[in-house]
Chains A and B, each alone.
Chain A
Amino acid sequence: MKLTLTSVYRPHCFPTLLNSSSFISLCRPFCTSALSSVPTGVKPQVPLFLRPPIYSTKLCDLKKWHDWAKGLAFSVGSTFLHSDNGPDSSLLCRELKWLMEDAVVGHHSLGVKDDGRVEMRVDMEELYCLWRQRILERRPFQYVVGCEHWRDFVLSVQEGVLIPRPETELVVDFVSGVVSENEDLKKGAWADLGTGSGALAIGIGGVLASGGGRVIATDLSPVAVAVAAYNVQRYCLQDNIELREGSWFEPLKDMEGRLAGLVSNPPYIPSKDISGLQAEVGRHEPRVSLDGGIDGMDALLHLCDGAALMLKPGGFFAFETNGKQQCRALVDYMENNRSGSFCNLEIRADFAGIQRFVIGFHQ
């Protein structure tokens, strides 16, 4: 299913705040292959594991489903792996176990009633449908169950919102390290731009909560803002995290020169690589949160320029990138085009050893 552009998937509209010719390339419409069209006034979906257990099924029927689902997972073998580095049978079986955990209530001894029935958060028909979508449509597992486990959080996600990646968990550690040595930054206002599910804002909000600091999280997608708001509320961080709808720095005009910190995991995949992505990513996740333009650097360069303007002296920033090449290019850009704006620039690797992040401070 392909839908044309909806109001949700607007092209990047960078603010006029910064007039750099390098951003013109971004002001073009993106095509999207995302599945759902979401009306305005978005109501976020409730993740499977939080839905009420209003269904019940016979244990033998559940087992029948499980055998079928496992068979389907095994039929995949390593086809996905070879075609686009997708999941193989063993990974799919692990996901099947997680799907069971989310869909079925309780332990077998508690969950199975005397009449041999189990309580479910979803009916059997939908359960068949969900697993079919997972395997046949390559719908990401996280969209199937409506959540992703990230750091200590279980975050709600749905179509239209980027699924937070384990690599990004490290950004919270960077921030945690910086504020542990600097009370001033801990008390300040931080921003997470292109927050998506709100993962970074929530991770950082938790770190700052004890010191009185707060996070402003922005996203141009109303779906993302709605989902992020739902997640913020679930972790009772609404006093520390404020959500603003809009593109990058656009909703932050009142914060010029006042931000204590700035983080972002912006779209950074070069446009030419989008078509070759793993199906779960390329077919289902919002292109607007993946595609970083010709060299993947459009949003990153924009963030650099904005950081120079929005951060207060001594303010900290951390950006995630596509890898070594982008890290180097970003550092070069900061040193050459923005000399005097930033100091203590560092490239940090993720846990797989890929140079992933650029961090530093405003002069």
Chain B
Amino acid sequence: MVPPTALPTPTPEPDVEARLALAEHLLACDEPRLCAQHVVAWLTRERPSDIAAWLVRDSGTGRWVCLAARNLSEAQRGALAFQPDETSHPLAEALTQGAPCFFAAPRAPLPAVGCIAVPLGRPGAPAAGLLLLSADGPTLTPDAAWVSAHVGPRLAAMLPTERREVAGGELLRRIIDTVADPVLLTDLEGRPHIANTRAEVLLVAGPDASEGRRRATELNRQVFSSALASFASGDTSTVRRREVPLVDPVEGIDLLFEVVSTPVLEPDGRESLVSVLRNVTDLGRATQALGESYRRLRDTEREARSERHRLDRVLDSVPDPIILSDPAGGMVMMNGPAEKLFATHPDSGEAVIRRLRSNNASFSSFLANLLDAEGRPRWRGQLGLVDPATGATLPMEAVASKVLGDSGELTGIVTLFHDRSEALEKARLLERVKEGSVHLEARVQAATAELAEQNEMLRRQAIQVEQASAAKSQFLANMSHEFRTPLNAILGYTNMLLQGVSGELNPSQKRNLTRIDSNGRHLLEVINEILDITRIEAGRMPLNLSDFGIPELLQEVMAEMDPIIARSKLTVSAHLGPRVPAVYSDRQKVKQIVLNLLSNALKFTHEGSVQVQAEYVAATSTLTISVTDTGIGIDPANQEKIFEDFQQVDSSPTRAYGGTGLGLSICRRLAAMLGGRVTLQSTQGEGSTFTLHFPRRARRA
């Protein structure tokens, strides 16, 4: 037995490409036997006649058997098998050595001269496999050395999946099966070496398992492996805890396990993990529910806080002071306006603090009213507070209301204040306005009474005036009658004397009687005209309407005036316009007006002519009868005056023209009675035109 020597530098460069290919191949291979076959094939790829064999320990029997071999017959392979305690067996010897052994001489059952046996596995750990190669010397070829160093451990690690190994025997297995929680021994990647029944249910699907169950266990394995892999990245020496969500493959429900993994070293030196899974599904749910509750509690608290905040803001936004007191009367909360009245500030002056105290005392005694009054839900009252800043009195109205709990117990008192300064000021102003209005009313009443009195007086005066007017009219009527009776006799006897009833008169007598006669007639004329005006004013001039023709009326007028016309040197003519219709009016009055106008014209015209013209204005259904003279004319200033009573242009006592001065005044009044009027156009020194306008059909007044 020659101990292996240090590896000489190989003459050829290591075939890196081939090694990478093998490594890839092995990484993709899960099956130990295939892997072993690959390896032996790879090792003999350059010298196909070389012998290569791979031995592993059978987990069932503990016997080392040939897993893969090259250039060995079945018999030769079988001969290589050995028991570890078979010390005479060269391979057992090599295994015991724990290092590569070169057998130069032929030694049964080795198939040929020049063999080297290499134990495979992690350094320091029991060998997991044995590689037998034909060799020229104790030195391993570079490839063999590479394989033993790198591939060996991997192959060794793969072996346990080949078959479940019950470490410690059936008893141990039964013991761990009784554990209610899943228990597993796994390699670092999470591949189970040992699993109790509970763990198997989760992670292993039997050959006859349903597709769903197979998938579930597959999924669980992946999850579990990745959980363990994350352990492996850290310090492996300590116990690790981790929560792993798995699926119950039977029930299909989600489960949550707490995995407690403890790293252990297997007898073969491999690192493994013992994992105990504790079902914390219910605990997880409880935790989740607790978290939810907590979150809700937080929300509620936050809401309550914001609610409180909002309440504060609402209260502060109320301009009236509000105070919340506890049942004993202590202040719990107040809004901004209340703070100004009741709350002290560190920098408050002495006077301010005194006023604040006074306010608090007032408030306390006010609250006492409510607290003393059993059963009353609220108390309303007046409070004399003081403005702490200025000391001005603040008349307040306050309403304190009890706040009752669910069972009717007193939990607090809310007090609202209302500043009554403004209201009182308004009331005061209102009072003054009322006072003023009462005064005003009294004055109005007095004025009204006075007015009524004056009205009554006026009414009486009007009646008196009316009565006086009527009396005057009656008086004038009587007077004129009384005037005329003697005048009748005067004129009558004068007339008789002039006619020679009492004998012939001498010229002197005749002349004097004629003067009596003419003066008497003038007097009569005056009296008649006064009587006319009186009657018109008294409303006692009747309107006698009838149909009549204008031509006949003009003829009559001309005939009546003929004696006067004959005496004058004037050219007097009457003209009738085209289509002058018959009219319906008061003939007597129309005639009287025309007579008067013509008489005036004759009186005030010394030479020239006087024309009477009648026209019909169809557009207005109006008749016009105008009298145009070439007389003295009338100054515009006097044109209105001459229509007034007793007025002539010359009103001096010695006026040149006779007449009463009542003629035009009467004409105007009579025209008005007919619904018409009398107009005047005149130029002084050239003549005048007086025109009577009256409707073709008069209306009875």
To the question of whether A and B form a pair in one complex, the answer is no
Q: Which residues of B contact A (CB under 8 A)?
A: none
Q: Which residues of A contact B (CB under 8 A)?
A: none
